[in-house]
Structure 1
């Protein structure tokens, strides 16, 4: 079967120049159509790459948040383990007063434990709303992980240290130093 163009040329209804022009126009239209399809394909490809990059960034942020949450839980578990393994007995009838969030709290302990707390050998820490006593080195390790858990330490309490320093300075205030001492 011959094309319509060939049939029109044989019948004499069209000449070679018009057929040539028609073929050229048809090729031009086809080229423009192919170019437009490529531009549309490129735009779709760019949009898909941009969406993939945005999804990748969201996933990265989500992973970072999840990692931070895992680290928080890990630190909390470490603190809880340090406290439960190293907590000291609180049995006794001597009252130990300490402050937590500007509120005076009380705990009954033995006399020896009370001395250890006041000398700074033991520290008071908060665990799940309850207060426990742990040795000062353990309190240092806990403070490295989360300072808010360590509630009271006598060796870091500035109000007691200032009072003790004043007492030590005034210790010899009542004694006169003689002027005639020779060394």
Structure 2
């Protein structure tokens, strides 16, 4: 009785050629997997690979969402700190206005013309551009031009009105004529 068990089963008629080939393929697959396990390689079925890829993709998407949320939080913190520093600069550098100002100073806030009642020296400083008008908690305050410049770099919407110091054109024929102080618009 020489030969393998498979040959003997085929001769006895207990198995056919197709079953023998199937058994050989199974045996080859098992030995290949056993060798791969020894080497550290593991053959995975396609479903398991798809699951692992889906899990890896979900982790990557979660990381992206977390990064975006962190960036938004940092932007919000930065915006809040800028707001706080601007409000602090406004409060520390505000110039007190007289309660009963004798001169009205007109300025534009958005699309409307507003009035502030100030004294003569404040009016001159506003006209020359040494002072600026800023919005603070629903009211208007006067601040120095240097502070207004710093605030407008960070939050330009807080500065309502600021006169620009105009350079005098040397070829201007009306340069010798001054605008009257009592001219109001």
Q: 1:15 to 1:142 in 2, by over 3 A?
A: closer
Aligned residue for 1:168, secondary structure, equals coil
- Provide structure 1 residue ranges, at least 5 long, that are not aligned to the other structure: 1-8, 172-183
Aligned residue for 1:133, secondary structure, equals strand
State the TM-score, normalizing by the size of structure 1.
0.69
Structure 2 distance, partners of 1:96, 1:170, is: 23
Aligned residue for 1:88, secondary structure, equals coil
1:95-138 C-alpha deviation (Å, 9 max, x unpaired)? 11111112111111222111111111110011222111000000
1:112 corresponds to which residue? 121
- Provide structure 2 residue ranges, at least 5 long, that are not aligned to the other structure: 34-41, 179-185
1:155 matches 2:164:
yes
1:98 matches 2:90:
no
State the TM-score, normalizing by the size of structure 2.
0.69
2:82 corresponds to which residue? 75
Identify which of 2, 10, 16 aligns with 2:8: 16
Give the helix-richer structure, 1 or 2: 1
Q: Note the aligned Cα RMSD (angstroms).
A: 3.2
Structure 2 distance, partners of 1:23, 1:143, is: 87
